[in-house]
């Protein structure tokens, strides 16, 4: 058990489809607080290094939502993928206002490195997800650091897309459920970026998937996106996928965008299509 050397505290371990769904806690250097993450180790991980699929969750979520609601375990077990699901923000930092609303502060880290007081000491989710967490996972478990992919939901997909676009070649494949594609143009993004990154909107562009895509150097990327047609957040202009699809087409980036009739924003929607997403990643991770 490598993780015992890495100051990880195991919170839970449950057998699932022959593998183990575990939750750990650790002291995060980037976030200056204790953080939990979930990791599924498929049966294959007992004897050989497995590829790792990272899942980034949406607003209000913890590491628990995806592992308890999406039903991904059977497909991950069959394809031999380790699946890592971090929390969505620092916790218990005692920052004034952190618990006042569901879409800012706790549970709403937005996967950026904040530059503004009082958030900048703790709210560094971009560096946590890009650097600290993968280093911890690679050092603690039988995963192959050369084979990583990334997927998520909503705010998490904003994280997924910026991580992939800011780090060409880092991930073998990308997928998303109902992504926030252009935070600089949507109400959620404007509010959060003002608070976390300040009023200078030129700083916001570094964390906007649609803007980043325009300067992407064109390293191979295969993106699968599912979007519920009855998603209230789509209808309210929070997600803006059309801008992103147009930018992909312009850059000749391979994107499959599926508008799913009758589905909305919830984990029922995710559970319906998660096996397709695991297959999408397995195709590249097991190539």
Q: Active-site residue numbers? A: 154, 231, 265
Partnered with residue 55 across adjacent β-strands are 151
The C-alpha torsion from 213 through 103 and 188 to 33, rounded to 10°, is -40
Which residue, among 129, 157, 156, 111, has the nearest Cα to 257 in the 3D structure?
Answer: 157
Quote the tokens at residue 126.
Answer: 């971009």
Question: Distance (Å, rounded) from C-alpha 51 to C-alpha 150?
Answer: 11
Question: Distance (Å, rounded) from C-alpha 233 to C-alpha 157?
Answer: 14
Question: Distance (Å, rounded) from C-alpha 170 to C-alpha 146?
Answer: 8
Distance of alpha carbon 159 from its chain centroid, rounded?
Answer: 5
Which residue, among 96, 111, 229, 213, has the nearest Cα to 166 in the 3D structure?
Answer: 213
Quote the tokens at residue 59.
Answer: 């607003």
Q: Are 245 and 161 in contact (CB under 8 A)?
A: no
Q: Are 279 and 226 in contact (CB under 8 A)?
A: no
The three-state secondary structure class of 26 is strand
Q: Are 197 and 115 in contact (CB under 8 A)?
A: yes
- Angle value at C-alpha 70, between 244 and 92, nearest 5 degrees: 85
Question: Distance (Å, rounded) from C-alpha 67 to C-alpha 37?
Answer: 10
């Amino acid at each position: 058990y490598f993780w015992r050397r890495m100051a990880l505290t195991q919170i839970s371990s449950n057998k699932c489809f022959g593998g183990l769904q575990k939750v750990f806690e650790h002291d995060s250097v980037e976030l200056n607080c204790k953080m939990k993450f979930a990791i599924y180790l498929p049966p294959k991980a007992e004897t050989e290094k497995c590829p790792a699929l990272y899942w980034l969750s949406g607003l209000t979520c913890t590491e628990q939502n995806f592992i308890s609601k999406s039903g991904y375990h059977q497909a991950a077990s069959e394809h031999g993928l380790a699946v890592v699901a971090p929390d969505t923000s620092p916790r218990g930092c005692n920052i004034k206002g952190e618990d006042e609303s569901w879409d800012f502060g706790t549970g709403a880290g937005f996967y950026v490195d904040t530059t503004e007081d009082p958030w900048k000491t703790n709210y560094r989710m971009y560096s946590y997800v890009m650097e600290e967490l993968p280093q911890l996972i690679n050092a603690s478990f039988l995963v192959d650091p050369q084979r990583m992919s990334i997927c998520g939901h909503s705010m998490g997909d904003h994280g997924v897309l910026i991580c992939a676009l800011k780090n060409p070649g880092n991930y073998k494949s990308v997928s998303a459920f109902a992504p926030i594609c252009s935070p600089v143009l949507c109400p959620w993004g404007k509010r959060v970026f003002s608070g976390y990154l300040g009023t200078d909107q030129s700083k916001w562009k570094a964390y906007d998937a649609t803007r980043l895509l325009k300067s992407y150097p064109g390293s191979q990327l295969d993106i699968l996106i599912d979007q519920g047609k009855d998603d209230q957040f789509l209808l309210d202009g929070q997600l803006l996928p059309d801008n992103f699809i147009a930018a992909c087409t312009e850059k000749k980036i391979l994107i499959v965008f599926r508008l799913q009739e009758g589905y909305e924003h919830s984990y029922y929607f995710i559970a319906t299509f998660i096996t397709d997403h695991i297959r999408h990643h397995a195709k590249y991770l097991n190539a």
